[in-house]
């Protein structure tokens, strides 16, 4: 049941987060959606050290609990469309070209934030109907999402498609890249936006009748039934959660009143070459909202982007 799923979600410990993604040389790096710069990176505890790590589970996506980029412990559902526009507004979206690559820096909080990571790309940014698998090299060390590394940074290289044509976002040239590991407690990872500089993008004058994103009849029917099943419970949970401002203030207050203590010997090393055999002493051979149900309703709790309102998680071609 939905309540059983919610109970399981509330106890999850998230252990990996995307810090940055660098595309073309000289362009501004992207950062992971809903990255919280106030979260400590020198510890492993659930609070505060894991609070902005992203959990991306296909089962939660299919149940309409979250969108295609999952959720964080502290902010809930990640509204892909909203976060894309936030990052564009802050001029914090890296530039990329077809056939190019992106260097993605991942912070591994503790054991199950390890590799290997897999990545895919939505060229519409937030329709969620066609994630294209991407090749990953220089992967984070680990097996089944586990290793003995903790509070360390690793940089993976993600190859972009030769035929890439980003057409999402208000600019009509944005793709969403999603990376996650295969930890049973996760998967953990995150999403970020890239802005293409050599594609045709989306025409400004495209009309509603020219939008081609779609879901199958079977998927739509199943989503309708799931939405009906979830609605009353989700509505009550949204009421119980309080207003987004109240929840956000409570979270901020909790962090401020209990600041993290630095862990002796904490490593801040960043890798540009991860050793497949594991980590050396510094972690790499080159050493180098609020609102919602149990913390996952998202920026809008259970309304437009929590339960039931995202058109089957993107099948509407921009419903997220």
pLDDT of residue 119: 98
In a domain, 177, yes or no: yes
Band (pLDDT 50/70/90 cuts) for residue 137 is very high
| Higher local confidence (pLDDT), 50 or 256 | 50
Cα 102 to Cα 113: distance, rounded to the nearest angstrom? 20
Structure tokens at 298: 């998202």
Domain count, the chain: 1
Which residues are CB-neighbours of 92 under 8 A, at least 6 positions away?
28, 29, 30, 31
Q: Is the pLDDT of residue 247 over 80?
A: no
Structure tokens at 312: 């089957």
Is the link from the previous residue into 154 a cis peptide, with omega within 30 of 0? no
In a domain, 319, yes or no: no
Domain range for 158:
2-201+209-257+269-314
Look up residue 81 and give its two tokens.
Answer: 């469309």
Highest mean pLDDT among 171-180, 207-216, 248-257, 271-280: 171-180
The average pLDDT across 133-154 equals 92
Whether residue 216 has pLDDT greater than 70: yes
Segment of 107-111, 200-204, 267-271, 291-295 carrying the highest mean pLDDT:
107-111
- Pairing state between β 174-180 and 118-122: antiparallel
Of 117, 108, 123, nearest to 136 by C-alpha is 117
- pLDDT value, residue 286: 40
Residue 30 has pLDDT above 90, yes or no: yes
pLDDT, mean over the chain: 76
Identify the weakest region by mean pLDDT among 41-45, 151-155, 268-272.
268-272
pLDDT at 104 over 80: yes
> Residue 216 domain-assigned?
yes
Has residue 262 been placed in a domain? no
Show the tokens assigned to 116.
Answer: 């290997």
Q: How far apart are CA 250 and CA 315, in angstroms?
A: 34
What is the per-residue pLDDT for 242? 63
Mean pLDDT of 87-93: 97
More confident residue, 262 or 36: 36
Overall average pLDDT of the 16-26 stretch: 95
Burial of 228 (0-12, 13-18, 19+ CB in 10 A): exposed
Torsion of CA 109, 153, 34, 122, to 10 degrees: -120
pLDDT per residue as tens digits for the range 51-79: 878 999 999 998 888 999 999 888 899 99
Calculate mean pLDDT across residues 240-265.
54
């Amino acid at each position: 049941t939905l309540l059983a799923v919610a109970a399981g979600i509330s106890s999850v410990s998230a252990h990996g987060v995307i810090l940055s993604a660098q595309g073309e040389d000289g362009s501004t790096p992207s950062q992971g959606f809903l990255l919280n710069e106030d979260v400590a990176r020198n510890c492993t505890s659930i609070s505060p050290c894991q609070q902005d790590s992203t959990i991306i589970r296909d089962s939660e996506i299919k149940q309409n609990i979250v969108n295609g980029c999952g959720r964080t412990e502290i902010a809930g559902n990640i509204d892909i469309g909203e976060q894309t526009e936030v990052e564009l507004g802050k001029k914090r979206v890296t530039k990329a070209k077809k056939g190019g690559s992106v260097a993605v820096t991942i912070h591994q909080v503790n054991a199950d934030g390890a590799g290997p990571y897999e990545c895919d790309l939505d060229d519409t940014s937030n329709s969620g109907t066609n994630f294209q698998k991407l090749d990953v090299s220089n992967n984070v060390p680990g097996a089944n999402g586990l290793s003995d590394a903790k509070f360390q940074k690793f940089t993976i290289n993600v190859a972009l498609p030769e035929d890439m044509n980003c057409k999402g976002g208000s600019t009509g040239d944005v793709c969403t890249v999603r990376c996650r590991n295969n930890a049973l407690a996760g998967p953990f990872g995150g999403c970020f936006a890239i802005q293409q500089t050599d594609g045709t993008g989306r025409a400004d004058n495209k009309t509603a009748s020219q939008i081609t994103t779609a879901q199958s009849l079977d998927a739509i029917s199943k989503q309708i039934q799931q939405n009906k099943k979830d609605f009353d419970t989700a509505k009550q949970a949204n009421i119980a959660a309080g207003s987004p401002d109240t929840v956000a203030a409570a979270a901020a207050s909790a962090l401020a009143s209990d600041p993290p203590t630095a862990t002796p010997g904490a490593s801040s090393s960043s890798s540009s070459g991860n050793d497949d055999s594991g980590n050396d002493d510094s972690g790499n051979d080159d050493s180098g909202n609020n609102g919602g149900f149990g913390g996952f309703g998202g920026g809008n709790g259970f309304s437009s982007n929590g339960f039931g309102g995202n058109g089957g998680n993107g099948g509407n071609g921009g419903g997220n």
